[in-house]
Structure 1
Amino acid sequence: MSNPLQGAQFVLAAHRISQLPSDHGAEVAFAGRSNAGKSSALNTLTAHRGLARTSKTPGRTQQMVAFSLPPLIQGEGQPPLQARLIDLPGYGYAKVPEALREHWKLEIDAYLHQRRSLRGVVLIADIRHPLKDFDRMMLEFCFATHLPCHLLLTKADKLSRNQAAQALAALRKELAASGTQATAQVFSSQAPTGVEEARDMVMTLLNTPRQ
């Protein structure tokens, strides 16, 4: 099966949302704690091993990084739609100055509120651990603003298939109990597991206009 995310290319790294590409087209943002495997997930989904920087030291992504995708084909008579992936700064683990943490808190909040081309968020969380405060905050924000959110429970290769299935079921039960409308799946960059499902979800988000 062909990979619709193949051909992703680095565009720029931005310190402020005003430095991001023009706010037209469609984009999906990747968010998550710095040690959850966000860069590895991006590289696996795009089949581009060196697209997002990976490191044994969590927290290397300290800017908003934009990657272009092949244009999205639209209906007859409509021009192709510019498409992007946005890698948001890893949160909660990076050893950065407090002033920089506060800067990114404000910039990410502004990005999620103001970016018109943003069509969904892929939230990266380590399947071996309960959701953290940042994860819950992101889920609650997406739900409150009608922004679709898809959870990738990464590092599933560290668990047995049965343990991974139980973790996914527990998360879905938790989401349902809280009334949070988000989708979730098991994922592993190493195995690989859930890669096609995740690619399909990213494409669905890109092709679905925001409410």
Structure 2
Amino acid sequence: MAAPNPLARAQYLLAAHNFRQLPPDGGFEVAFAGRSNAGKSSALNALCQQNALARVSKTPGRTQQLVFFEIPPSTDRFLVDLPGYGYAKVPQDLQAHWQAFLDGYFGSRQALRGLVVVMDIRHPLKDYDRQMLRYAVERGLPAHALLTKADKLSRGAQGNALLAVRKELSSAYGDTVSVQTFSGESKLGVEEARAVVARWLEL
């Protein structure tokens, strides 16, 4: 029998647009980052075995807050959905606000235990992805890269992409960033990713 999924009870708690709106800085948080249309919402939904926990948006860049999901019965375990930008047409003042908010969040948030960076396996390691990984590495936090939409590639192409990304991450960050293939559609790699997140949250 499969072990029960500790993330399955996750539920929406709040969305924060600035520091004052963040929950108290205690407990354990795992943040999820990904460019627009990288498959971050689908990945969160697959990990939590819920269809609509994180809204899957057809409009890139819709997430404009830090969205906190609580994992009952504990009141101090959270998944945090970070705003995803890529080709989202975001005004410069909003970009500056987010840059400052994320700088502060990654620089000072004690509850943060790890970062999952979601990348489309066909277009990995864009500037946004590298910036997010740098945030984690500079803080000494573990990071885990999910190469999503792997079902769109043949098994051989998946393996080649995984090797290429692993090689680049290893040379840039040593062993602080792990990487795997993933598909919310076919459920490839879901249990592996869930185990990483659950370990960081000590669930």
Q: CA shift at 1:24, angstroms?
A: 1.0
What is residue 87 of structure 2 aligned with on the other side?
93
Matching of residue 135 in structure 1 with residue 137 in structure 2: no
Matching of residue 3 in structure 1 with residue 5 in structure 2: yes
> What are the Cα deviations for residues 92-138 of structure 1, in whole angstroms up to 9, with x where unaligned?
22222111111111101111111110000000111001311111122
Secondary structure of 1:70 counterpart = coil
Identity of aligned residues (%): 56
Tell me how far apart the structure 1 counterparts of residues 116 and 31 of structure 2 sit (CA, whole Å): 6
Pick the aligned partner of 1:117 from 111, 120, 141: 111
Amino acid at match of 1:202: V
What is residue 12 of structure 1 aligned with on the other side?
14
Q: CA shift at 1:140, angstroms?
A: 2.2
What is residue 29 of structure 1 aligned with on the other side?
31
> What are the Cα deviations for residues 172-208 of structure 1, in whole angstroms up to 9, with x where unaligned?
1112222442000000011111000000000111129
Matches within 5 A, 1:128-167: 128-167=122-161
> In the alignment, is the contact (CA less than 8 A) between 1:157 and 1:188 conserved in 2?
yes
In structure 1, runs of 5+ residues without a counterpart are 73-80
Q: CA shift at 1:151, angstroms?
A: 0.4
What is residue 207 of structure 1 aligned with on the other side?
202
What is residue 75 of structure 1 aligned with on the other side?
none
Secondary structure of 2:25 counterpart = coil
Amino acid at match of 1:131: L
Q: Over aligned residue pairs, what C-alpha RMSD do you find?
A: 1.5
Pick the aligned partner of 2:192 from 177, 193, 197: 197
> What are the Cα deviations for residues 131-155 of structure 1, in whole angstroms up to 9, with x where unaligned?
1111112222322221110000001
State the TM-score, normalized to the length of structure 1.
0.90
In structure 2, runs of 5+ residues without a counterpart are none
After TM superposition, the runs of 4+ consecutive aligned structure 1 residues lying more than 3 A away are none
